[in-house]
Amino acid sequence: MTTQQPAVLKNLDEVRAMIRRHKLNDYIFSIIGLIALMVGLLTLLTLFLDLVIDGYTRFNYEFLTNFPSRRAGSAGLLTAWVGSLLVMTVTFVTAVPLGVAAGVYLEEYAPKNWFTDLIEINVTNLAGVPSIIYGLLALGLFVYILDLGQSILTAGLTLALLILPVVIVSTRESIRAIPVSIREGAYAVGATKWQVVSDHILHYSFGGILTGIIIGMARALGETAPVITIGALTFIAFLPPAPITAEPPFLNFEWLEAGFTVLPIQMFNWLSRPDHAFHVNAAATGAIIIMVTLLMNGTAIWLRYRIRKNIKW
């Protein structure tokens, strides 16, 4: 045995000890992460089951089709879910085209300089701004300066501002995930910049972009502070004008100026009542909001999986 062999064996023992130590650290970290995940999931599941147990008696057709009432047994969610649907329509039409276009521009067209870096930092920071700040901004801009009133249009624009950074960030991250070879191959066969973006970049990143949009819409659905700030009604016993009519031009935009309420506001209104029967209605409303939110997030995950599975790189 040469004099170098003991040194080599000693180094090998040190390497094995280091590997075992790292594996132990990975195992400990995975256990901690699993515990943290289970705590969050079990907490959500417990709260959800509590809402379902308290409000399951109101899970019926009448609860969804009745107007709000001062009698808890006959009160329903009709104006609330219709208002939420119309507000989400304005939010989607406003935030999605702007957010996707801004994300594509920042990632594919904008020059890389200090100004675009400043924009990127501010967009990322805006995604974490408390929602009440957007409500105060909308109150000053849309209600007082632009004089849009406390309407569905104002609520939709407010929530569009809220989710716009989420859509921009998700669009950019989806585009960044596309291999550079896709762009290079398109340019190699003579494609223009617009052809590369429209036929390849957006096509391959569509799943991630759609996921970000749905998650942003799910967040907007459950927001309460911004719509309270701009003056959402807590009790409304009428529906806004129908967006579609039977007479030409078959579209009616008067509903944009109508008063509104949404599901979280209706839930808050019932919780503020002293009668326990209204608390049952609030529990049923909370369970419905959670179910719709989980359904939207689950749909986003499923669509992303299906779209990525069908894409051939």
Are 170 and 255 members of one domain? Answer: yes
Q: Which of 69-73, 152-156, 171-175, 276-280 has the lowest mean pLDDT?
A: 69-73
In degrees and rounded to multiples of 5, residue 104 shows phi and psi of -65, -40
Confidence of residue 304 (pLDDT cuts 50, 70, 90): confident
Q: Which domain holds residue 11?
A: 1-58
Q: Quick one: 160 and 48 in the same domain?
A: no
Mean pLDDT for 65-78 is 86
Is 100 found in the same domain as 67?
yes
Residue 246 has pLDDT above 80, yes or no: no
Mean per-residue pLDDT for 238-246?
81
Instruction: Name the token pair of 231.
Output: 């003056």
Do 110 and 8 reside in the same domain of the chain? no
- Cis peptide bond N-terminal to 274, omega within 30: no
Per-residue confidence (pLDDT) for residue 8, from 0 to 100? 59
- Regarding whether 236 and 142 lie in a shared domain, the answer is yes
Residues 273 and 146 in one domain: yes
Do 106 and 119 meet the contact criterion of CB atoms below 8 Å apart?
yes
CATH number at residue 143: 1.10.3720.10
- 123 and 10, same structural domain? no
pTM metric for this prediction = 0.83
Do 120 and 170 have their domain in common?
yes
pLDDT interval class at 10 (50, 70, 90) = low
Report the C-alpha gap between 72 and 270 in whole angstroms.
9
Residue % of the chain over a pLDDT of 90: 13
Residue 92 predicted with pLDDT over 60: yes
Residue matched to tokens 């994300």: 103
129: its two tokens: 């701004």
pLDDT level of residue 177 (50, 70, 90 thresholds) = confident
Task: Band the pLDDT of 158: cuts 50, 70, 90.
Answer: very high
One domain for residues 109 and 41: no
Residues 90 and 27 grouped into a single domain: no
Domain C-terminal end among 58, 74, 97: 58
Q: Are residues 264 and 185 located together in one domain of the fold?
A: yes
Does the pLDDT value for residue 286 go beyond 80?
Answer: yes
pLDDT at 17 over 70: yes
Average pLDDT, the chain: 85
pLDDT value at residue 99? 92
Residues 80 and 12 in one domain: no
The count of structural domains within the chain is: 2
Averaged pLDDT, 285-302: 86
pLDDT band for 294, please (50, 70, 90 cuts). confident
* DSSP code string of the chain: --SHHHHHHHHHHHHHHHHHHHHHHHHHHHHHHHHHHHHHHHHHHHHHHHHHHHHGGG-SHHHHHSPP-SSGGG---HHHHHHHHHHHHHHHHHHHHHHHHHHHIIIIIS--SHHHHHHHHHHHHHTTS-HHHHHHHHIIIIIIIS---SSHHHHHHHHHHHHHHHHHHHHHHHHHTS-HHHHHHHHHTT--HHHHIIIIIHHHHHHHHHHHHHHHHHHHHT--HHHHHTT--S---SPPPPSB-SSTT-B--GGGGS----HHHHHHHHHTSSSHHHHHHHHHHHHHHHHHHHHHHHHHHHHHHHHHHH---
